Amino acid sequence: MSIWRVILAIIFPPLAVFDKGCGSVLITFLLWICGWVPGVIAALVILNNPER
């Protein structure tokens, strides 16, 4: 996980997980719409997952 991905996850979470798949983008986008903090947390968790 690079520093640029972390900064992008803080600014616009759905764009940070764009290459992780449609499901990740959709979940992150919906959480981001519900509130900024849940979207950022979801993006950071998805980016920090070593299996993907």
Mean pLDDT by 10 residues, the chain (52 residues): 91 93 93 94 91 69
Alpha helices, H only, the chain: 3-11, 13-16, 22-34, 36-48
Please tell me the predicted confidence (pLDDT) of residue 49: 86
The residue whose two tokens read 């997952």 is 49
Domain residue limits, the chain: 3-48
Terminal-to-terminal C-alpha distance of the chain:
11
Please tell me the predicted confidence (pLDDT) of residue 3: 93
d(CA 19, CA 8): 13
The residue whose two tokens read 């690079």 is 2
Please tell me the predicted confidence (pLDDT) of residue 52: 60
